[in-house]
Amino acid sequence: MADQSICDAEELLLKRSVTFSELRDAIRGDASDATFENLLFNPDFAISQRGATFDSTTFQANNDGNYTFDRWVLLSDGNDIVDVSQDVANRPPRGKNAAKLEVETANKKFGLLQVLESDISAAFASQPVSLSLQAKIGGSNATLETIRVGILEWTGTADSVTLDVVSAWGVAGADPTLAANWAYLNTPSNITLSSSYLSISVENVTLGSGINNLAVFIWVDDTDATVDDQLFLGNLKLEANAVATAFTAPQTPTELQRCMRYFQLYNGGYVNVATSSSVWLNVRFPVDMRVPPTKYVPEEISLSDDHAVNYTSSGITVLSSSGNNMGGRTVLLGGFSGLTTVANGLSNTLSWIGGNNIWLDAEL
């Protein structure tokens, strides 16, 4: 860009008359060519460790307040309002995926939210930020056609946010009432969409001096959405800049590492038998987590000893954990039967041979 600016300046100097502003702009170059760090995580929805689809039948259901894609929270006026999924076929230009939200319950508002932790948010207090994204609706939509975009700040205790930022959804044409300590920093308004991607920008929004957590919220303001109407979102970018600049899709392995600070999956390794119905599992996190995580085991897991005797859990549960740190934990899993605590005079060790992942959750 610098070489091009020099050439542009030289061309202007060959003119008989050149204004100061022309020469200045030629030397400076086009500001829209500059790139600024994207503060959002998983901005093209390519990382989705909890699953590629979220509906009323999945372990992580499409309930109000549930995380879906990594770092993205579904907010809706009730549960099972929209199914959420990754959509490669409808991805926007320069993006890897789109978020597809398909209406399951008519006449309700819904949207996606991402909250940034305080270490990121507070660093930009009193500074301008800009948000950009691309959005479209399904070609066969009956009634859903508008969205609103909000940049929010949390002034309560840092990182102890009310994740469901909506206190009351309100009527069409009115922004949702926010929960205590949340506030809009911009003035959202209806953005009418079509079946082709629209580029949207909310620029030069100044953060408050007392901000602790920053969030972006994109929601459907219509209260007449029809079942099977669709909304597609992609290429989101939040940057500490007065104007929005071009989106660049992050490298998937790098972005996965960033997201694992908040959520990780674990599957495999060895466990030590604790009792006839429980085992100790030592988990080392490949990425240090934000806080010591809570644990979830969606369904069953299978273990085996050296004699090919297999044990499959029934209703696996996390009984306890120890090692209060972000780099690893020792987890006591229950839900087995018939385990032998001692083998050949030693504590019995079993290998993990199948089943589901343990979910390690350190989200806000």
Could you write out the DSSP letters of every residue in 177-213? EEPTTEEESS----EE--SS-EEEEEEEEEPPTT-SE
Place of tokens 């469901």: 164
Whole-Å CA distances, 296 to 69, 99, 293, 356: 17, 25, 10, 10
Residue type, 147: I
Phi-psi group of 174: left, alpha or beta (phi > 0 → left; psi -120 to 50 → alpha; rest → beta): beta
Taking 50 as the threshold, does the pLDDT of residue 16 lie above it? no
278 in Cβ contact with 319 (< 8 Å)? yes
Q: What are 39's two structure tokens?
A: 């503060």
Judge whether residue 23 has pLDDT over 70.
no
Which CATH topology does 263-361 take?
Immunoglobulin-like (2.60.40)
- The CATH 2.60.40 portion of the chain extends over 263-361
pTM value is 0.87
- pLDDT-derived band at 124, boundaries 50, 70, 90: very high
CATH 2.60.120.260, the chain: domain bounds: 53-258
CA-based end-to-end distance of the chain = 40
The pLDDT tens digits for 31-84 are 444 568 999 999 999 999 999 999 999 999 999 999 999 999 999 999 999 999
Helix (H, G, I), strand (E, B) or coil at 359: strand
**pLDDT tier at 341, thresholds 50, 70, 90:** confident
Query: What region does 307 belong to: left with phi over 0, alpha with psi -120 to 50, or beta?
Result: alpha
Cα gap 239→130, rounded to integer Å: 5
Most confident of 158-172, 264-278, 317-331: 158-172
Confidence of residue 1 (pLDDT cuts 50, 70, 90): very low
Cα distance between residue 96 and residue 92, in whole Å: 8
Q: In DSSP terms, which residues pair with 53 in a beta bridge?
A: 85
Structure tokens at 51: 């699953």
CB 334 within 8 A of CB 314: no
pLDDT for 34 equals 59
Q: Which two tokens stand for residue 222?
A: 């219509």
**What's residue 27's pLDDT?**
38
User: Which architecture characterizes domain 53-258 according to CATH?
Assistant: Sandwich (2.60)
- Among the ranges given (150-154, 213-217, 219-223, 309-313), the one the predictor scored with the smallest mean pLDDT: 309-313
pLDDT, tens only, 260-307: 999 999 887 788 888 888 888 888 888 999 998 888 877 678 888 765
Other C-beta atoms lying within 10 Å of the C-beta of residue 306: 11
Q: Are 200 and 191 in contact (CB under 8 A)?
A: yes
Give the Cα separation of 107 and 224 in Å (integer): 4
Residues 6 or more apart in contact with residue 236 via CB below 8 angstroms: 40, 43, 44, 131, 132, 133, 216, 218, 247
Q: Which letter does DSSP use for residue 157 in this model?
A: S
Q: Is the Cα torsion angle 154, 156, 162, 165 positive or negative in sign?
A: negative
Contact 218, 241 (CB under 8 A): no
Based on DSSP, count helices (H) and strands (E) in the chain, helices before strands.
Answer: 4, 26
